[in-house]
Amino acid sequence: MKVIDHLQASAGKTLFSVEILPPLKGKSIESIFNILDPLMGFKPSFVDVTYHREEYVYKKRENGLLEKFSIRKRPGTVSICAAILNHYRVDPVPHIICGGFSKEETENALVELSYLGIDNLLLLRGDAIKSENAFEPHPSGHHYALDLVKQVANMNKGIYLDEDLQDVTPSDFCTGVAGYPEKHFESPNLKSDLRFLKAKIDAGADYIVTQMFFDNQKFFDFVDKCREIGITVPIIPGLKPLTTSKQTTVLPKIFHVDLPEALADEIDKCKSEKEVKEVGIEWCIQQSIELKKAGVPCLHYYTMGSAEVTCRIAGKVF
């Protein structure tokens, strides 16, 4: 079932969904089931699976020279989605990114997904890899998520890259895109970022999932601004509980989000990491309760490889 159909069928009830990461290479699919088993008790409507690009590492050889290797630490997005569908009969949402793919490779990946019966996608640009200063598209790939949305919208109309294909079956994907209540870090201002977000919706995206935020007012203002410029699709808040004191500096640095003073003050008062985790969980519970009360279509949790915290939050909210 498509995410948009879940949202429409919910009749105003706030749904529950999660995002998981593929395990580090070398781990088994059981590690995914270990995360998802306890979460299934809360009946997630869909499960997002992130995509992780290659990285370059240097290894020292016996002769003292450094050798450059391309590695993917967390492969398996598509097969994990297939496993989720088979094992739980829950709708998986693979993240599809522009970075590292030609349009042809993207098209072939989409064909494979449709053969697997996976009809939901979250379409993203992806970030620059560590060795790049800024995002660089594949020479025959997409520069922006907007172009990926257009490619999928075309396939949904039966327009494939090879115009000579005969008797084609249109794909039938439901697509989500990312939105940033505190603006995307490369964008000069929120207005410009929203203009490009609207372009993704106008090109055919069905819904928006937001970057994490810790101040609900930022989400409410973002939704208001989206509505003002004519974005009418569902906007799903993405939530991540803060669980370690290190995250007070890491999350703003990596995800370009602010921590409200009240949250930072509470964490400053903590005497142990255990206390920090409790403060973070309680903050996320209060955020969730307020968002649910405001009638958000779904609460989407970034599990970051652990079910325990999300289960505790969901247990208080759903």
Interface with ligand FAD by CB under 6 A: which residues?
50-51, 53, 95, 97, 124-127, 144-146, 178, 184, 186-187, 192-193, 196, 209, 211, 238
Nearest to 314 by CA among 287, 279, 285: 285
DSSP letters for 87-124 = HH--EEEEEEESTT--HHHHHHHHHHHHHTT--EEEEE
What's the min distance (Å) between Cβ of 120 and ligand FAD? 13
Q: Which is nearer to ligand FAD, 169 or 306 (CB)?
A: 306
* CA–CA separation, 56 and 304 (whole Å): 23
Q: Which is nearer to ligand FAD, 119 or 193 (CB)?
A: 193
Q: Which is nearer to ligand FAD, 39 or 97 (CB)?
A: 97
What's the min distance (Å) between Cβ of 271 and ligand FAD? 33
CB 125 within 8 A of CB 97: yes
**Packed helices 216-228 and 273-293: angle between N→C axes, nearest 10 degrees:** 30
What's the min distance (Å) between Cβ of 144 and ligand FAD? 4
Q: Which is nearer to ligand FAD, 88 or 196 (CB)?
A: 196
Q: Which is nearer to ligand FAD, 257 or 317 (CB)?
A: 257
Q: Which is nearer to ligand FAD, 172 or 186 (CB)?
A: 186
Give the 3-state secondary structure percentages of the chain, helix then strand then coil, rounded to 5.
Answer: 40, 20, 40
Classify 170 as helix, strand or coil: coil
CB 118 within 8 A of CB 77: no
What's the min distance (Å) between Cβ of 245 and ligand FAD? 24
What's the min distance (Å) between Cβ of 126 and ligand FAD? 4
- CA dihedral 107→109→112→118, nearest 10 degrees, is -100
What's the min distance (Å) between Cβ of 96 and ligand FAD? 8
Token pair for 190 = 């929120």
What's the min distance (Å) between Cβ of 21 and ligand FAD? 8
User: How crowded is residue 241: how many other Cβ atoms within 10 Å of its Cβ?
Assistant: 26
* CA–CA separation, 242 and 283 (whole Å): 8
Q: Which is nearer to ligand FAD, 39 or 146 (CB)?
A: 146
